[in-house]
C-alpha cells in the first residue's frame, strides 16, 4: 500500500448517496423512455408512492413487526442452541468427532425444502418462520462458538491455571470470552440469516409479514408491490445492521 | 525449596517416534534464590519450567516443593510466559486482580489490592485500560503485578522479556530485581537463551546441553554484589570474566545444537 488517504465519513456518505440517486434516477429515466417495460420493472416513483400508502394505512408496520418478531425470535433461539451445543462439543472432542458428519449433513440441507415441512408441523403462524430462521442461525452460531472455544489461546489457559483458576473459572474468564469474540463477529451474518429465514417462510405460506406481502404482489403480477416490499426489507436491513455494528463495537471495545 | 529429581520428559513426534526433550535433570533451588537456566534454543528449557509448573507431567522423575511431591498444577508458583498472557477482554486492573478473584476475594478488596500493585509498577493511571492499549513494557509490568500480587513462594519465568527492545528490556530487568530483592525474596527460576541477562540477574547460572535429551552440563555461581546496577554491570571486569568463563561452556552446546539442527528446526 503506497498512499492511503484518510477519507472522512461525510465524504463516503456523500458518495454512497450519490450512487444510490444515480441508480434510481437512471431506472426512472429508462422506464420513462420505454427502454424498460414498467409492467416488468415498475418505476421508482410508483414504488415510493406505494410505500407511502402502506405507511399511511399502517399496514406496513403490521407486516414489518411480524417479520422482525420472527427474525429476532429465530436469532435468539438459534443463537442459544448453537452456542450451547458449540460449547459442549468443543469441550467433548469425542462427541464432536462422532457428530461431525451429521452436523455437516444437516447444514447441507437447503432450507427452502424444509419450509413446507415446517408449515405442516408448526402451522401458518410465526412459529414455522421462527423454525426456519433457527435452522439458518443455529449453524452459524454453532460453528463460531465451536471454533472460538477451540481457538482459545493455550498461553492464556495455562496462565489462569497457574493463577489458581478452577475449571469453571477457566470457562467463565477465558473460554466464554474467547468464544464471544467469534460469536459477536458473526452477529451480522446471523441476523441477516434470521431475516432471510423469516421472509422465505412468509413467502411460502403466511398471513402476515413482508414475505407475505411480496408473495401476494407476485401472485397478481404487481411488480410495484414486489419492489416496494424489497425496498422496505433493504432499508430495514441497513438500519438494523448499523445498530448491530455499534453493538459489536461496544462489546468488543477491548480490541484496540 | 524447589527440587527436580531425575526429571526426564518425552514427546511423541508427528512421525510416531519418541523425542526425549530433557533427560535426568536434577536440580535443587534454594528458597529465595534466583536461578537462571540457559541453553541453546530448543534444548528443553521451557519443558523443564512447564514440569516445575505442573502443566506438564514428567515421563520419569519428579518435582518436589518444600519436600512434598508435586502433582497437578504447582500451587506454590506463578508463571511469567514468553508470550502475552493478559486476558485481552479484561482491564489491566481486572487482570492484575485475577488470581485474587480466583481465590474468591471480594471484588472491592481484589481491586484495592490490584490498585496498590499497579501503583508499585507505575501503572496507576492505566488501571482502566485494556491490554491492547498498553505498550509492550507496560504489559510486562502488569504481568509482573499479576504474578506478585499472589503470595506464592516461586516465580517461574520463561524468557519473559525476549520480545522487548534492548532498553525496555533492561528497564524490566531492573524492575524485576527491585521486586525480588526484598526482605522476603521469592524463588525465581528464570529461563533465557541470553547469557548476559542470566548473569546480570541470577545468583546461579545453570547450563543445559543441546537437545535432544538435554541435561545439566554446568552450574556457575554468580558472585556479583547486590543490588546490581544493570546499566553499568555489563562492562565491569568481574562480569566480563564470568561471561567469558560460562560462555566457554555454553558455546560448545550452541555449536552442537546448530550442527544437530542441520537446517531443520
Instruction: Out of B131, B151, B171, pick the residue that ends a domain.
Output: B151
In angstroms, the CA A38 to CA A221 distance is: 12
Distances (CA, A) of B208 to A69, A230, A251, B26, B44: 66, 71, 47, 11, 8
Q: What is the pTM of this model?
A: 0.81
Which candidate from B75, B103, B132 shows the least CB-CB separation from A254?
B132
pLDDT (tens digit per residue) in B199-220: 999 999 999 998 788 999 999 9
Q: List the pLDDT tens digit at each of the 256 positions of chain A.
A: 455 667 788 899 999 999 999 999 999 999 999 898 989 999 999 999 999 999 999 999 999 999 999 999 999 999 999 999 999 999 888 999 999 999 999 999 988 888 889 999 999 899 999 999 999 999 999 999 999 998 899 999 999 999 999 999 999 999 989 888 888 888 888 999 999 999 999 999 889 999 999 999 999 999 999 999 999 999 998 999 899 889 888 888 888 6
Would you say B216 and B207 are in contact if contact means Cβ atoms under 8 Å apart? yes
Number of domains in chain B: 2
Asked if B164 contacts B121 with a C-beta cutoff of 8 angstroms, the reply is no
From A10's Cα to the closest Cα of chain B, the distance in A is 28
Across A115-139, b (16+ Cβ under 10 Å) vs e yields beebbeebeeebbbbbbbbbbbbbb
Instruction: Tell me the pairing of strands B204-208 and B216-221.
Output: antiparallel
Judge whether A88 is closer than 8 Å to chain B, CB to CB.
no
CB B51, CB B71: distance < 8 Å:
no
On whether both B72 and B134 belong to a single domain, the answer is no
Q: What is the DSSP letter of A171?
A: I
Residues B63 and B163 in one domain: yes
Q: What is the mean pLDDT of residues B25-36?
A: 95
Q: Please report the sign of the dihedral spanned by the C-alpha atoms of residue A96, residue A102, residue A105, residue A110.
A: negative
**A86, A141 Cβ separation under 8 angstroms:** yes
Helix (H) or strand (E) holding B29: strand B18-29
Q: Are the C-beta atoms of A217 and A229 separated by less than 8 Å?
A: yes
- Whether A248 has its CB under 8 Å from any CB of chain B: the answer is no
Percentage of residues of chain B with pLDDT beyond 70: 98
Contact B120, B175 (CB under 8 A): no
pLDDT score of B264: 45
Provide mean pLDDT across the span B217-227: 92
Residue B173 and residue B68 in one domain? yes
Residue pointed to by grid coordinates 503485578 = B145
**Which residues 6+ apart lie within 8 Å of A172 measured at CB?**
none
Pairing of strands B154-158, B77-80: parallel
Question: Is B128 in the same domain as B200?
Answer: no
The one-character DSSP state at B214 is B
**The CATH number of the domain where B174 resides is what?**
3.40.50.300
Cβ of residue A169 closer than 8 Å to a chain B Cβ = yes
Residues in chain A: 256
Residue A164: which of B83, B89, B99 has the nearest Cβ? B99
The closest CB to that of B85, out of A159, A253, A255, belongs to A159
Domain shared by B37 and B100, yes or no: no
Same domain as B201, residue B189 = yes
Regarding whether B242 and B217 lie in a shared domain, the answer is yes
Query: Which residues, including other chains, have CB under 8 Å from residue A97's CB and lie 6 or more apart?
Result: none
Q: What was the pLDDT predicted at A47?
A: 95
Residue contact B85–A166, C-beta within 8 A: no
B85 vs A contacts (CB less than 8 Å):
155-156, 158-159
Name the closest residue on chain B to residue A170, using Cα atoms: B102
Do B200 and B134 fall within a single domain? Answer: no
What DSSP element (H or E) covers A226? helix A223-251
Element (DSSP H or E) covering residue B62: strand B60-65
- B135/chain A closest Cα distance in angstroms: 12
Which domain does B217 fall in, by range?
A: 2-76+152-261
Asked casually if ipTM beats, i.e. exceeds, 0.85, the reply is: yes
Look at residue A177 and give its three-state secondary structure.
helix
Sequence-separated (6 or more) residues with CB below 8 Å from residue A33: none
Give the pLDDT score at B75: 94
Average pLDDT estimate for B68-85: 94
Amino acid at each position: 500500500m503506497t498512499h492511503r488517504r484518510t477519507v472522512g465519513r461525510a465524504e463516503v456518505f456523500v458518495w454512497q448517496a450519490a450512487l444510490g440517486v444515480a441508480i434510481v434516477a437512471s431506472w426512472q429515466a429508462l422506464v420513462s423512455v420505454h427502454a424498460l417495460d414498467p409492467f416488468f420493472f415498475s418505476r421508482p416513483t410508483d414504488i415510493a408512492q406505494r410505500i407511502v400508502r402502506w405507511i399511511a394505512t399502517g399496514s406496513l408496520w403490521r407486516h414489518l413487526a411480524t417479520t422482525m418478531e420472527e427474525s429476532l425470535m429465530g436469532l435468539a433461539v438459534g443463537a442459544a442452541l448453537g452456542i450451547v451445543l458449540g460449547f459442549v462439543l468443543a469441550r467433548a472432542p469425542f462427541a464432536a468427532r462422532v457428530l461431525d458428519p451429521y452436523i455437516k449433513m444437516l447444514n447441507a440441507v437447503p432450507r427452502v425444502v424444509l419450509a413446507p415441512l415446517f408449515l405442516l408441523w408448526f402451522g401458518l403462524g410465526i412459529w414455522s418462520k421462527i423454525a426456519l430462521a433457527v435452522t439458518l442461525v443455529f449453524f452459524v452460531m454453532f460453528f463460531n462458538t465451536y471454533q472460538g472455544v477451540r481457538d482459545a489461546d493455550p498461553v492464556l489457559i495455562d496462565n489462569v491455571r497457574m493463577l489458581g483458576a478452577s475449571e469453571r473459572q477457566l470457562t467463565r474468564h477465558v473460554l466464554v470470552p474467547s468464544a464471544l469474540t467469534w460469536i459477536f463477529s458473526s452477529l451480522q451474518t446471523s441476523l441477516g440469516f434470521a431475516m432471510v429465514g423469516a421472509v422465505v417462510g412468509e413467502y411460502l405460506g403466511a398471513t402476515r409479514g413482508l414475505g407475505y406481502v411480496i408473495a401476494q404482489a407476485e401472485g397478481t403480477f404487481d411488480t410495484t408491490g414486489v419492489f416496494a416490499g424489497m425496498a422496505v426489507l433493504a432499508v430495514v436491513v441497513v438500519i438494523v445492521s448499523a445498530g448491530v455494528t455499534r453493538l459489536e463495537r461496544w462489546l468488543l471495545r477491548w480490541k484496540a | 525449596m524447589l527440587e527436580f529429581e531425575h526429571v526426564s520428559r518425552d514427546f511423541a513426534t508427528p512421525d510416531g517416534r519418541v523425542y526425549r526433550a530433557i533427560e535426568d535433570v536434577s536440580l535443587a533451588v534454594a528458597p529465595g534464590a534466583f536461578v537462571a537456566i540457559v541453553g541453546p534454543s530448543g534444548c528443553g528449557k521451557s519443558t523443564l519450567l512447564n514440569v516445575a509448573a505442573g502443566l506438564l507431567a514428567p515421563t520419569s522423575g519428579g518435582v518436589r516443593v518444600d519436600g512434598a511431591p508435586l502433582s497437578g498444577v504447582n500451587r506454590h508458583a506463578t508463571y511469567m510466559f514468553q508470550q502475552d498472557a493478559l486476558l485481552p477482554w479484561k482491564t489491566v486492573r481486572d487482570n492484575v486482580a485475577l488470581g485474587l478473584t480466583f481465590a474468591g476475594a471480594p471484588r472491592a478488596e481484589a481491586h484495592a489490592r490490584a490498585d496498590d500493585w499497579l501503583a508499585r509498577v507505575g501503572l496507576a493511571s492505566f488501571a482502566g485500560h485494556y491490554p491492547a492499549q498498553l505498550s509492550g513494557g507496560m504489559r510486562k509490568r502488569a504481568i509482573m503485578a499479576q504474578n506478585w500480587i499472589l503470595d506464592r513462594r516461586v516465580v517461574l519465568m520463561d524468557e519473559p522479556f525476549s520480545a522487548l527492545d534492548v532498553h525496555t528490556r533492561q528497564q524490566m530487568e531492573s524492575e524485576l530485581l527491585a521486586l525480588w530483592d526484598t526482605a522476603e525474596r521469592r524463588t525465581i527460576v528464570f529461563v533465557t537463551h541470553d547469557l548476559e541477562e542470566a548473569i546480570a540477574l541470577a545468583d546461579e547460572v545453570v547450563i543445559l546441553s543441546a537437545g535432544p535429551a538435554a541435561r545439566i552440563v554446568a552450574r556457575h555461581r554468580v558472585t556479583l554484589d547486590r543490588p546490581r546496577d544493570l546499566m553499568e554491570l555489563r562492562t565491569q571486569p568481574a562480569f566480563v570474566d564470568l561471561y567469558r568463563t560460562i560462555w566457554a561452556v555454553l558455546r560448545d552446546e550452541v555449536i552442537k545444537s546448530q550442527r544437530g539442527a542441520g537446517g531443520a528446526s
